[in-house]
Amino acid sequence: MTDTKYNGWTNYATWRVNLEIFDGFDPFDNFSDNQANMMEWLPDTLKEYAEEIIEQTSSKGLARDYARAFLSDVNWFEIAEHMFLDYADEEDIKAYKEGETA
């Protein structure tokens, strides 16, 4: 995969995974028991979630291997941050941005 921007995202893989797996996915609804410091754990959690979908919806073989390879190009932090900023309340966003610049 190339690192060229795609539709405003880091690359095609990031855009596509966000669009097809996480569009409308509210982390505050899906992970309500662990919202403290969400940006510290959300990228890895989203990656694990996508990997689990591949495992559950495909059989062993070439197609699954290609799907896993595709996921390796995804910028998980970018998806997590986009998701967080879309669904967090103003107080959480302010705290995140202050911590980001500190």
Instruction: Provide the whole-model pTM.
Output: 0.85
Q: In a structure prediction context, what are the per-residue pLDDT tens digits for the chain, which is 102 residues long?
A: 555 699 999 999 999 999 999 999 998 887 766 566 888 899 999 999 999 999 999 999 999 999 999 999 999 999 999 999 998 888 888 888 888 755
Contact present, 80 and 42 (Cβ < 8 Å): yes
pLDDT of residue 43: 96
Q: Note whether 15 and 6 are within 8 A (CB).
A: yes
User: What pLDDT is stored for residue 48 in this prediction?
Assistant: 96
Closest C-alpha to 47, from 19, 18, 26, 23: 18
Q: Tokens in use for 82? A: 């986009």
CB-CB neighbours of 56 under 10 Å: 7
**The predicted structure's pLDDT at residue 34:** 59
